[in-house]
Structure 1
Amino acid sequence: MSHDGPDLVVAGAGGGLIGALRAASLGLSVLVVERNEHYAVSNNTAMSTAMLPGAGSRWQRELGLEDSPERFVADLVAKTHGETDELLAGALAGVSARLVEWMADDLGLPLSLVTDFPYPGHSQLRCHTVPGRIGRNLLRDVVRAVRDSDLIDVMVPATLTDVVVDAAGVTEVVITSGGREERVPTRAVLLATNGFAADAELVARHIPEIAGAVYHGSDASLGDALRIGERLGAATAFLDAYQGHAALAMPSATLTGWATVMHGGVLVDRAGARFGNETTGYSEYAAQVLRHAGGEAWIVLDQRIHEACQEFQDYRDTVESGALRWAEDVESLATSIGADPAVLLETMSRARASAGGAADEFGRTHWEQPLEPPYAAVAVRPALFHTQGGLRVDEHARVLTRTGEPIGGLYASGGAAAGISGHGSGGYLAGNGLLPAFGLAFLAAEHLADHARAEQQTEDGA
Structure 2
Amino acid sequence: MSDGPDLVVAGAGGGLAGALRAAELGLDVLVIEADEHFRRGNNTSMSTAMFPGAGSRWQRDAGVDDSPDRFVADIDAKTGGTADARLARTLAEVSAPLVEWLADSVELPLSLVTDFNYPGHAVPRCHSVPGRHGSSVIDHLTRRARAHPNIDLLVPARLADVATGPDGAVRAAVVQYPDGTREEIPTRAVLLATNGYGADRDLVERHLPEIAGAVYHGGEHSRGDALRIGGGLGAATGFLDAYQGHGAVSPGAGTLVGWATVIHGGFIVDTGGRRFGNETRGYSEYAAEIAARPDATGWIVLDKTVHDQCSAFQDFRDTVESGVLVWAGDAAGLAEATGLPAEPLADELARTAAVARGETPDAHGRTNWERPLEPPYAAVRVVPALFHTQGGLIVNEDAAVVRPDGTPITGLYASGGAAAGISGHGAAGYLPGNGLLPAFGLAYLAAGAAARGRTAPTPHNEGE
Smaller-chain TM-score bracket: over 0.9
Q: Distance in 1 between matches of 2:364 and 2:51?
A: 30
- Give me the whole-angstrom Cα distance separating, in 2, the residues matched to 1:43 and 1:12: 8
Q: Give the structure-1-normalised TM-score.
A: 0.96
How do 1:30-429 and structure 2 match up within 5 A? 30-40=29-39, 43-166=42-165, 167-177=167-177, 178-357=179-358, 358-429=360-431
Q: How far apart are residue 453 of structure 1 and its match?
A: 12
Q: Which moved more, 1:74-83 or 1:443-452?
A: 443-452
Preserved CA contact (<8 Å) 1:121 1:429: yes
Partners of 1:54 and 1:259 in 2: CA distance: 20
User: Closer, same or farther in 2 for the Cα pair 1:224/1:42, shift >3 Å?
Assistant: closer
Find the counterpart in structure 2 of residue 445 from structure 1: 447
What code does the residue aligned with 2:396 have?
A: D
Count of equivalent residues: 453
Aligned mates of 2:51, 2:321 — CA distance in 1: 26
Determine if contact 2:449/2:455 at 8 Å carries over to the other structure.
no
Task: Give how far 1:250 is off.
Answer: 2.2
Q: CA deviation at 1:383?
A: 0.4
Distance 2:11 2:294 in 1: 36
Q: 1:389 to 1:453 in 2, by over 3 A?
A: closer
Instruction: Tell me, yes or no, if the aligned pair for 1:242 and 1:384 is still in contact at 8 Å.
Output: yes
Secondary structure of the residue that 2:453 maps to in structure 1? helix
The aligned counterpart of 2:462 is: none
- Asked if the contact 1:47–1:135 (Cα under 8 Å) also holds between the matched residues in 2, the reply is yes
Could you tell me how far apart the structure 2 residues matched to 1:387 and 1:250 are? 21
For 2:448, the aligned partner's letter is E
SS at match of 2:292: helix
Q: Does the Cα contact within 8 Å between 2:3 and 2:186 map onto a contact in 1?
A: yes
For residues 79-119 of structure 1, what are the alpha-carbon distances to aligned partners after superposition, in whole Å with 9 as ceiling and x for unaligned? 00001111101111101111111111111111011000110
Q: Work out the CA distance in 2 between the residues paired with 1:146 and 1:36.
A: 15
- Tell me the CA shift for residue 292 of structure 1: 2.7
Other structure's SS at 1:307 match = helix
Q: CA–CA distance in 1 between the matches of 2:181 and 2:293? A: 49
Distance 2:261 2:293 in 1: 20
Matched residues in 1 for 2:251 and 2:420: separation? 31
Instruction: State the identity as a percent.
Output: 62
Q: Deviations over 1:57-100 (max 9, x none)?
A: 01000011110001001000000000111110111110111111
TM, length-normalised to structure 2: 0.96
Alignment check: 8 A CA contact 2:174 2:182 kept: yes
d(CA) in 1 for partners of 2:168, 2:201: 36
Look up the SS of the partner of 2:247 in the other structure. Answer: strand
Q: How far apart, CA to CA, are the structure 2 residues paired with 1:39 and 1:295?
A: 32
Q: Deviations over 1:359-381 (max 9, x none)?
A: 10000000100100000000100
In structure 1, give the amino acid aligned to 2:422.
I
For 1:317, the aligned partner's letter is: D
Alpha carbons 2:393, 2:418 under 8 Å: kept: yes
Deviation track 1:240-284 (CA, whole Å, cap 9, x = no partner) reads 100000000121110000000000000001121000000000000
Q: Is the 8 A contact 1:245 1:385 kept in 2?
A: yes
Alpha-carbon distance in structure 2 between the residues aligned to 1:47 and 1:293: 28
Answer whether contact 2:324 2:380 (CA < 8 A) is retained: yes
> What SS does the aligned partner of 2:132 have?
coil
Offset of residue 216 of structure 1: 0.5
**2 CA distance for matches of 1:433 and 1:348?**
34
Whole-Å separation in 1 of the counterparts to 2:336 and 2:407: 61
Give the superposition deviation at 1:315: 0.1
CA distance in 1, matches of 2:88, 2:228: 24
Q: Write the distance in 1 (CA, Å) between the matches of 2:104 and 2:293.
A: 46
SS in 2 for 1:294: helix
2: CA distance, partners of 1:79 / 1:13: 29
| Alpha-carbon spacing, 1:10–1:42, altered in 2? closer, same or farther (3 Å) | closer
Q: Deviations over 1:205-224 (max 9, x none)?
A: 00000001000011100000
| Deviation readout 1:115-165 (Å, 9 max, x if unpaired) | 001100000100000000000011111111101100000101101101011
| CA distance, structure 2, for counterparts of residue 224 and residue 152 of structure 1 | 23
Supply the AA of the counterpart residue of 2:78: K
Query: 2:440 corresponds to which letter in structure 1?
Result: F
Is the contact between residue 53 and residue 95 of structure 2 (CA under 8 Å) also seen in structure 1?
yes
> Paired residue for 1:458?
none
SS of the equivalent of 1:379 reads strand
Kept in 2: contact 1:40–1:143 (CA 8 A): no
**Residues 42 and 195, structure 2, Cα contact 8 Å, conserved in 1:** no
State the distance in 2 between where 1:224 and 1:42 align: 13
Distance 1:168-1:222 versus aligned 2 partners, 3 A rule: closer
Task: State whether residues 50 and 133 of structure 1, in contact with CA within 8 Å, keep that contact through their aligned partners in structure 2.
Answer: yes
Q: Is the 8 A contact 1:354 1:360 kept in 2?
A: yes
Partner of 1:457: none
Cα-to-partner distance string for 1:31-82 (whole Å, 9 max, x where unaligned): 0111111224652110000000000001000011110001001000000000
Give the secondary structure class of the aligned counterpart of 2:311: helix
Cα distance in 2, alignment partners of residues 233 and 43 from structure 1? 26
Secondary structure (helix, strand or coil) at the match of 1:154 reads: strand
424-433 vs 168-177, greater mean Cα deviation:
168-177
- In structure 2, relative to structure 1, the CA distance for the partners of 1:216 and 1:189 (3 Å cut) is same
Work out the CA distance in 1 between the residues paired with 2:42 and 2:316: 19
Give the counterpart letter for 2:245 in structure 1.
G
CA contact (8 A) 2:33 2:156 kept: yes
Q: CA deviation at 1:294?
A: 3.2
